[in-house]
């Protein structure tokens, strides 16, 4: 299945971003909620203590400032740590119109307005306060959600805010508690005076906190919703930009002509793509080589066909022109020979090209080598008999090898046919089949002219015919090329040598599957040094 | 006209040999470069037809060697390779003509005639001398506007002498040009042919240089 790298990256990056953002958002939501709760709790505690101090001073005789100074304010000890955290960050001031600043929190606040001093400050505070009282909106927003109660030990509920219920918020006298009451869940801070006569409950509805947290979360979600498409677009563009080399490569490849196998340039390309291009380039190189090989083969083959064609045409023209019946008969005989030779050559060429291109030639089965050799000898013996050549088969192995039947037949036929062609009349050909360690050896020895050891390499070249034998036998120069190809396909070894009959010795070593060593069969197709393989 | 044919392919060699003999050439045919080299050392040839794809010596090598020896015998090269580079190399290497296989026998003969003509320094195909016209292509000879029937050997001798007007041609040279290695030479045949030529044409046309050979004298003035 195909897929788009760009889409895959976009989808995976976006979903990863979403998950990570979700987790972060949730944890920041939680910590915001805790922070908000802490802040509000501290505020509650502060309010409670302010009220207590106020009430204390109202109930007892004496001026508030004195009372403060005597340090008789009871510090709520319910949640000392929490209060400690926020105490330094909260402050209050109680101003009287006549007497100025009456009461303030432990943290001495900065003057509201620096350049207004003394009594003037009091008057100013009052004026601003008067203005803000007229602005109801501010107070109304949270009015119903904040409440206080003042309970006396003896007289019950002394004082409460409009929003507070008439029953006690809680029975706790100190510290924080959460209570279900009218309007839902309330956070209550309770504080009592030193004697325990009075208890003040300051309450705050959960809704205030939820609302604030919700607002913060809402903002986060909104940011995300707006940011997500922008992020997607940016990711899309960045990926697109990063993938430019791929589309350039694609363009360069589609615009290529079939014959253009020049390597692609790897300059200025990302390291991730360089190996791909290197692999492509090496493939191009191999293709180029294969094409060159094909081209040369076609050229060679057509050149090889030109000479017999020329001979054919010349003989035809001689036959047509001559009045001499004897010359005409000779020419016709030669024409027949030429046609036969060309048919043989065409057949060899076809064989050669089929070996590489037709897959059924590559299917291998277990074959008894002996029966194949006998089959070929049976077919070719009449040819040898015509030349009075004695053919002898020495069978010393009955091994089975894994090979393609047709190819094996062509291989054996080419070697034996070659021996018959080049062996002069009244000569000898010996064919051996023997077990050799992990191999089966097929050896064909003849009493022909042989090949000089220094000419082995040359003789294995395509279309090469040796001078000494060229005119004696009408070979095509393709026989050994075909043999070598088939030998390579079967991982066998091929070598030439000097025969015990003083002619040519051709040896093929097939790997024997039954006695296969642990190591893989050698794929080498080579020639042995002269004399080294002389049969004993 | 004696011609050396070097061609390793049996069928083509035999065909060419037969075809060229029918045209009146005395053909020596060899299948290897070495044999051809030997023949070149011992004989004089008017034309050489050389195949490049020889099994032993490269045809080009043979040709270069020939030219190094200052032998200017016209050489026609036969080849299966038809690239321009091949042809250029061949011509630069000293070949006078290039024929790509497969070829037409009549074309090869025509080209050989042209080669011989150029070698003799003529530009027209017919050789004309004192009312005698010799057409090498059709083997037709006419004297004073009348066609003269000549045998093949008579024609060969006449065309050889007319190709060398004003020069004495030795008897041996004439014999050499008439007979290839494989044909029997009767020692007095040249005299016999000259005798018939004199009878059929103007008796004063061919002058005998005693002990040396024969000459057709150049026109005076």
Interface check B8 vs A, CB under 8 A? yes
A46 with A92: CB under 8 angstroms?
Answer: yes
Q: How many residues does chain B have?
A: 221
- Within 8 A of B102 by CB-CB distance, chain A residues are 306, 309-310, 312-313
Residues of chain B with CATH 1.10.10.10: 127-216
pLDDT at A229 over 70: yes
Work out the minimum CA distance from A415 to partner chain B, whole angstroms: 22
Task: Compute the average pLDDT of residues A280-309.
Answer: 83
Three-class secondary structure of residue A335 per DSSP: helix
Task: Compute the average pLDDT of residues A327-354.
Answer: 86
Question: Nearest-CA residue of chain A relative to B32?
Answer: A467
Q: Report CB contact under 8 Å: B105, A327.
A: no
Q: Which of B6, B18, B53, B55 to mutate to test the interface with A (most CBs of A within 10 A)?
A: B18
Interface check B32 vs A, CB under 8 A? yes
Cis (ω within 30 of 0) for the bond into B102? yes
Question: Nearest-CA residue of chain A relative to B100?
Answer: A306
Work out the minimum CA distance from B114 to partner chain A, whole angstroms: 20
Work out the minimum CA distance from B32 to partner chain A, whole angstroms: 8
Q: What mean pLDDT is reported for chain A?
A: 77
**What is the model's pLDDT at position B70?**
86
pLDDT at A130 over 70: no
**What is the model's pLDDT at position A223?**
86
Q: Which of A299, A302, A303, A307 to mutate to test the interface with B (most CBs of B within 10 A)?
A: A307
Work out the minimum CA distance from B208 to partner chain A, whole angstroms: 36
pLDDT in tens, A407-458: 888 899 889 988 898 888 999 999 999 988 888 999 999 998 888 887 777 7
Residues of chain B with CATH 3.40.50.2300: 2-120
Share above pLDDT 90 across residues of chain B, in percent, rounded to a whole number: 20
pLDDT band for position A106 (cuts 50, 70, 90)? low
When mean pLDDT is compared across A79-83, A150-154, A442-446, B123-127, the lowest value belongs to A79-83
Interface check A343 vs B, CB under 8 A? no
Choose among A138, A155, A156, A135: nearest CA to A146: A138
- Within 8 A of A307 by CB-CB distance, chain B residues are 9, 12, 51, 53, 80, 101
pLDDT band for position B187 (cuts 50, 70, 90)? low
When mean pLDDT is compared across A22-26, A481-485, B98-102, the lowest value belongs to A481-485
When mean pLDDT is compared across A250-254, A411-415, B55-59, the lowest value belongs to B55-59
Interface check B22 vs A, CB under 8 A? yes
Q: Which CATH architecture has domain B2-120?
A: 3-Layer(aba) Sandwich (3.40)
Query: Nearest CB to A308: which of B9, B22, B56?
Result: B9
**What sign results for the dihedral spanned by CA atoms A247, A248, A251, A252?**
negative
Sequence-distant contacts of B135-139: CB under 8 A, at least 24 apart: B137/B110, B137/B113, B139/B24
ipTM above 0.90, yes or no: no
Q: Report CB contact under 8 Å: A310, B81.
A: no
A476-500: b (≥16 Cβ within 10 Å) or e: bbbbbbbbebbbebbbbbbbbbbbe
Q: Enumerate domains of chain A plus CATH numbers.
A: 5-215 (no CATH), 258-357 (1.10.287), 359-536 (3.30.565.10)
pLDDT band for position A520 (cuts 50, 70, 90)? very low
- Within 8 A of B53 by CB-CB distance, chain A residues are 307
Choose among A305, A447, A434, A336: nearest CA to A387: A447
Task: Compute the average pLDDT of residues A457-473.
Answer: 59
pLDDT at A76 over 70: no
User: How, if at all, do strands B47-51 and B75-79 pair?
Assistant: parallel
Sequence-distant contacts of A462-470: CB under 8 A, at least 24 apart: A462/A297, A462/A300, A463/A300, A463/A301, A463/A304, A465/B55, A466/B55, A467/B32, A467/B54, A467/B55, A467/B56, A469/A422, A470/B8, A470/B31, A470/B55
User: Which CATH number does B127-216 carry?
Assistant: 1.10.10.10
pLDDT band for position A209 (cuts 50, 70, 90)? confident
């Amino acid at each position: 299945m195909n897929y788009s790298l760009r889409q895959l990256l976009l989808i995976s990056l976006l979903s990863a971003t979403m998950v990570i953002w979700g987790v972060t958002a949730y944890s920041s939501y939680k910590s915001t909620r805790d922070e908000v709760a802490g802040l509000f709790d501290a505020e509650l505690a502060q309010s409670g203590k302010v009220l207590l101090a106020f009430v204390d001073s109202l109930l007892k005789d004496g001026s508030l400032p004195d009372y403060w100074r005597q340090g008789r304010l009871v510090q709520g000890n319910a949640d000392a740590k929490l209060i400690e955290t926020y105490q330094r960050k909260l402050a209050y001031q109680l101003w009287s119109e006549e007497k100025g600043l009456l009461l303030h929190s432990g943290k001495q606040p900065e003057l509201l307005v620096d350049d207004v001093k003394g009594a003037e400050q009091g008057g100013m505070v009052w004026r601003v306060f008067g203005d803000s009282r007229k602005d109801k909106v501010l107070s109304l927003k949270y009015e119903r959600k904040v409440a206080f109660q003042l309970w006396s030990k003896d007289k019950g509920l002394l004082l409460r805010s409009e929003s507070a219920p008439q029953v006690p918020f809680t029975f706790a006298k100190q510290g924080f508690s959460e209570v279900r009451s009218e309007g839902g869940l309330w956070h209550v801070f309770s504080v009592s005076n030193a004697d325990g006569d009075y208890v003040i409950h300051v309450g705050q509805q959960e809704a205030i906190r939820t609302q604030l947290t919700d607002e913060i979360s809402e903002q986060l979600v909104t940011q995300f919703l707006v940011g997500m498409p922008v992020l997607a677009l940016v990711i899309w563009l960045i990926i697109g930009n990063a993938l430019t080399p791929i589309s350039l490569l694609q363009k360069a490849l589609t615009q290529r002509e079939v014959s253009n196998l020049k390597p692609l340039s790897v300059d200025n390309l990302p390291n991730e793509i360089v190996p791909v291009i290197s692999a492509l380039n090496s493939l191009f190189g191999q293709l180029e080589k294969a094409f060159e090989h094909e081209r040369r083969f076609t050229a060679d083959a057509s050149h090889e066909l030109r000479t017999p064609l020329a001979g054919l045409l010349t003989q035809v023209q001689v036959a047509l022109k001559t009045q001499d019946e004897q010359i005409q008969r000779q020419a016709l005989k030669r024409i027949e020979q030429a046609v036969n030779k060309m048919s043989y050559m065409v057949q060899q060429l076809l064989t050669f090209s089929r070996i590489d291109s037709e897959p059924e030639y590559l299917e291998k089965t277990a074959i008894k080598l002996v029966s194949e050799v006998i089959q070929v000898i049976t077919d070719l013996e009449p040819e040898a008999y015509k030349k009075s050549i004695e053919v002898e088969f020495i069978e010393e192995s009955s091994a089975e090898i894994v090979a393609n039947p047709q190819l094996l037949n062509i291989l054996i036929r080419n070697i034996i046919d070659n021996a018959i062609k080049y062996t002069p009349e009244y000569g000898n050909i010996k064919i051996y089949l023997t077990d050799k360690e992990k191999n089966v050896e097929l050896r064909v020895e003849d009493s022909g002219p042989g090949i000089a050891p220094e000419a082995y390499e040359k003789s294995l070249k395509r279309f090469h015919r040796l001078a000494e034998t060229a005119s004696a036998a009408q070979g095509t120069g393709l026989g050994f090329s075909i043999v070598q190809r088939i030998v390579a396909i079967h991982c066998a070894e091929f070598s030439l040598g000097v025969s015990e009959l003083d002619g040519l010795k051709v040896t093929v070593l097939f790997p024997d599957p039954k006695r296969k060593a642990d190591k893989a069969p050698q794929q080498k197709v080579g020639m042995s040094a002269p004399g080294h393989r002389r049969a004993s | 006209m004696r011609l050396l044919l070097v061609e390793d392919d049996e069928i083509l060699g035999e065909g060419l040999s037969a075809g060229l003999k029918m045209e009146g050439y005395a053909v020596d045919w060899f299948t290897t470069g070495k044999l051809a080299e030997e023949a070149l050392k011992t004989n004089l040839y008017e034309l050489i037809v050389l195949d490049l794809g020889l099994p032993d010596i490269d045809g080009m090598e043979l040709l270069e060697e020939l030219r190094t020896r200052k032998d200017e015998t016209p050489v026609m090269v036969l080849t299966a390779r038809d690239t321009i580079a091949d042809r250029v190399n061949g011509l630069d290497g000293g070949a006078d003509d290039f024929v790509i296989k497969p070829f037409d026998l009549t074309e090869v003969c025509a080209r050989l005639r042209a080669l011989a003509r150029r070698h003799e320094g003529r530009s027209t195909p017919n050789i004309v001398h004192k009312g005698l016209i010799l057409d090498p292509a059709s083997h037709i000879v006419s004297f004073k506007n009348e066609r003269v029937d000549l045998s093949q050997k008579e024609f060969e001798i006449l065309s050889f002498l007319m190709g060398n007007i004003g020069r004495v041609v030795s008897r041996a040279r004439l014999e050499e040009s008439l007979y290839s290695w494989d044909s029997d030479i009767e020692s007095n045949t040249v005299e016999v042919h000259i005798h018939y030529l004199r009878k059929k044409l103007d008796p004063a046309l061919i002058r005998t240089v005693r002990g040396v050979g024969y000459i057709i004298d150049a026109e005076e003035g």
